[in-house]
Structure 1
Amino acid sequence: MKKNPFRRLIFRWTFVFALVSGLLVTLLLCFRPETPVLIGSFAYLACTGAIFAGFIFSVRREMETVLEQLSEMIQGLIYRRDKEILSVTEDTLLSKLQSQVIQLTGILSVQKERYLKENREIKSLISDISHQLKTPLANLAMYSSLLDDPEISPDKRPEFTRRLKSQTDKLAWLLDSLIKLSRLESGIISIETEAKDLGNTVLAAIKQAFPAAENKNVTIEWRGGQGLVLPHDAKWTTEAIYNVIDNAIKYTDTGGNIIITLTGYDLFARIDIADNGQGILPEELNDIFKRFHRGTNAREAEGVGLGLYLTRKIITGQGGYIKTASEPGSGSTFSLFLPLDGLRVNSSQH
C-alpha cells in the first residue's frame, strides 16, 4: 500500500477544524442560546465541516494526480522517452518544471555522449600508440642483441650500429609526434591566434623542409609574397604547413617540383601546396587525414601517418579547412584555408 504523503497535513488541519468546532459547541452550551439559534449553529457547523472535508480531499486527490504525472514523466525520462505528460500550453509552475527537467535531461545526455566519445578516442589512441611503438622497440632490441654478440664480424658491426641509430631516430620522431598529438587532443596546448604575416609563417615551414628537399633534389618554388596579415597561431600553423610539404617531398620522385602559393580572398587566405609526385588513389582521398593512415603507395616512404592528421587538427582548430585534389601519377594539391578575421594587407603588395 502506498504511503499518502498528505495524510499528516490532512490530519493536522482536520484537528484544527475539530478544535475550533469544539470550542464553538462549548460556547453554545455554556451560554444556552434559544433553540432556533442552537439548531442554526449546529447546521452551520455541519455544512462547514462538509465543505472543509470536500476541500481537503479534493486537494489531496489533485496533488496525488500531479505527483503521479511527475513520477510518470521522470520514469519516461529514465527510459529515454521525452514524452510531455503535462500540457506545455499552460503557464503553470508544473509545466515549467517539466520543461526544465526535459532540458536538463538533454544536457546530461549530450554530456554523456561526449564523455563516451572521449573515452573511445582515448582507448583508440592508446591502442594506436602501443601498435606504433611495437615495431621500433622490437628493432632496437634486435639490433642491440646483435651488437652484443661477440661472434659478429667487424664489417657488419657498423651496419648494425647505423640501423640502430636509424631506429632510435625514428622512435624519437614518433614519440615527438605522439606528444604533439596528445597535447592537442587533450587541450594541454591550445591554439592561440595572433595577427601575423602568413607569408612569413609559410616561409618558416619551407625553411624547415628545405634540407629534406635538397637531399632528394626536389625543387620548392615559392609564389606567395608577404604582407598578408591575419590572426593565426604561427608556431602550430608552421607545423601544419611543414607536414604537408614534407609529405609532398616524400612522395615526389627525385628531381621533382613543389609549388607553394599564397592567395588572399574576401573571407579566407588560401595556401596551395602542389607537387608532381605519385598522387593519391581516389578511394583513399577520404582516409588520408585519419590518424596513422598509410596509403598503398606509402609503404616505402618513412612516416607513421600522423602528419596530415595533425595538420587537419591545427587548421580546423583555427576555423579553417583543407581541400585536396589529386591524380594518380600526376601529383597532388593540398589547399589550406584560414579565415581572414582582422585582415590587414600591406599596401605595398598592391
Structure 2
Amino acid sequence: MNPYLIAICVLGLIVAALVVYIVVDKIRRKKELDELIEFLTKVQDRDTFPELGLEAEGRMLILRSEIYKLASTLQEQYTGEVKKNTYMAEMLSNISHQIKTPLTAINLMTDALKNGNLDEAQRRRCIANITEQTDHITWLVRSLLTLAEIDAGVLVLKKESVPVKEIIDGIVSGIAIEADIKDVAIEVNVPAENTINCDKRWMSEAFSNIIKNSLQHTEAGGAIKISSEETNLSVNIRIEDNGCGISKKDLPNIFERFYHGEKSDPNSNGIGLSLAKQIINSQNGTISCESEEGKGTIFEIKIYKSATV
C-alpha cells in the first residue's frame, strides 16, 4: 500500500477525531453552562435552594463549586435577614400592643376624672387604676431595655456570693399578701449554706418572675414548693406548683418573648419567663420546665459554679 495514502488516512482520522472531540466538548460545556444558568436563575428567583451536580471536570468543576459556595452563602445571609426583619416587625407590633392597652385604660380613667361627676370613692379607683397602668408600662419598658442589653451583651452584672435563701425569702415576703388572698401556700426548703455567684438584683428579678408565674397559675388551696440543693458542679433550685399545668403544645414555647399560651392571663405581656431565662443564662445558669395539665409545673434552675455553659 502507498505509504503516502496511509499517512493521509491516518491524518484524516486524527483530524476527524479532533473534530468529534471539539464538537462533543462544546456540547458538554454548553450543557454545563446551561445547568449553571438554570441554577443561578433559581437562586435569583428565590426558589427552594437547588442542588448542583458534579459531573464536570477540571476548571469547570472548580467554577461550579465556587459558584455553589457563593450562592449558598448569599442564600443563608438573605434567609437570616428575612428572619431578622420578620422578628423585628413582630416584636414592634407586640410592643405597640402591650403599650396601647394600658394607655387606653389611662385615657379612659383621665376622661372620667375630667367630667367631675365622680364621687370620692370612684375618683380614688380611677387614680389607683392609672397608677397601676403606669407601673405596668414602666415595668414593660424596663424589661424590654434589659432584654436589649442582654442581647447586646452590655448588661452590667455585679456578681457576688449570695445565699439562695436570702433571694427567695425576699421574693416570698413581697408576694405573701397576694398568696394569702389567693389561699396558696408557699413552702420554702432552702439550706442557708447554699450560695450562688450572681448579681443579686437581677437574679432576684428572674426568680421573682418564675415564682409569680407559679402563683398566678395555682388555684385556691394549692401550694408552691421552693427548694434547693448543692452539687459539685452547681446549685440547683426547684420551683414546683400543683396548679393548672401547661399544655404540651405550649410547653416548648413558654420562654419565647411575647408568647401567650392557652391558659395565659389576658393581662400578661408574655415577657416575664423570657426575661428570667435570659438573666439566668447570662449568669452561667440554665432553666428548664416540666409540666402536666391538671397536675402542675416544675421549674429547674441550675447555677453553675464555673463557666461550663
TM-score (ref. length: structure 1): 0.63
Are 2:169 and 1:211 aligned?
A: no
What is the CA-CA distance between 1:135 and the residue it aligns to?
1.6
What do residues 35-82 of structure 1 show as CA deviations (whole Å, max 9, x unaligned)? xxxxxxxxxxxxxxxx9xx99xx8999689657635632531441322
Indicate if the aligned counterparts of 1:221 and 1:257 stay in contact, CA closer than 8 A.
Answer: no
* Percent of residue pairs identical: 24
Structure 2 residue aligned with 1:27: none
Structure 1 residue aligned with 2:51: 82
> Residue 247 of structure 2: which of 251, 276, 282 is its match?
282
Structure 2 residue aligned with 1:30: none
* Alignment size in residue pairs: 282
What is the CA-CA distance between 1:85 and the residue it aligns to?
4.7
Indicate if the aligned counterparts of 1:216 and 1:255 stay in contact, CA closer than 8 A.
Answer: no
Q: Partners of 1:332 and 1:62 in 2: how far apart?
A: 69
AA partner of residue 213 (structure 1)? A
Q: Which runs of 5+ in 2 are unaligned?
A: 1-13, 43-48
Structure 2 residue aligned with 1:167: 133
Are 2:105 and 1:135 aligned?
A: no
Q: 1:323 to 1:296 in 2, by over 3 A?
A: closer
Q: Partners of 1:61 and 1:233 in 2: how far apart?
A: 73
Q: Partners of 2:156 and 2:59 in 1: how far apart?
A: 45
Structure 1 residue aligned with 2:188: 221
Q: 3-state DSSP class of the match of 2:213?
A: helix
Structure 2 residue aligned with 1:188: 152
What is the CA-CA distance between 1:247 and the residue it aligns to?
1.6
Q: 3-state DSSP class of the match of 1:258?
A: strand
Are 2:241 and 1:241 aligned?
A: no
Indicate if the aligned counterparts of 1:192 and 1:233 stay in contact, CA closer than 8 A.
Answer: no
Are 2:279 and 1:310 aligned?
A: no
Give 1:108-119 correspondences, 5 Å limit.
Answer: 108-119=74-85
What is the CA-CA distance between 1:134 and the residue it aligns to?
2.0
Q: 3-state DSSP class of the match of 1:311?
A: helix
Indicate if the aligned counterparts of 2:230 and 2:236 stay in contact, CA closer than 8 A.
Answer: yes
Q: Partners of 2:129 and 2:252 in 1: how far apart?
A: 34
Could you say what the CA RMSD is over the residues aligned between the two structures, in angstroms?
4.1
Q: 1:72 to 1:281 in 2, by over 3 A?
A: closer
Indicate if the aligned counterparts of 1:225 and 1:262 stay in contact, CA closer than 8 A.
Answer: no
Structure 2 residue aligned with 1:336: 301
Q: 1:107 to 1:235 in 2, by over 3 A?
A: farther
Q: Partners of 1:192 and 1:154 in 2: how far apart?
A: 45
Structure 1 residue aligned with 2:143: 177
Indicate if the aligned counterparts of 2:235 and 2:302 stay in contact, CA closer than 8 A.
Answer: yes
TM-score (ref. length: structure 2): 0.70
What do residues 253-303 of structure 1 show as CA deviations (whole Å, max 9, x unaligned)? 578653323334576653211234x23143443453343344555548x64
AA partner of residue 333 (structure 1)? I
With 116-125 and 61-70 compared, the bigger mean Cα shift is at: 61-70
Structure 2 residue aligned with 1:32: none
Q: 1:193 to 1:182 in 2, by over 3 A?
A: closer
Indicate if the aligned counterparts of 1:209 and 1:246 stay in contact, CA closer than 8 A.
Answer: no
Q: Partners of 2:144 and 2:205 in 1: how far apart?
A: 14
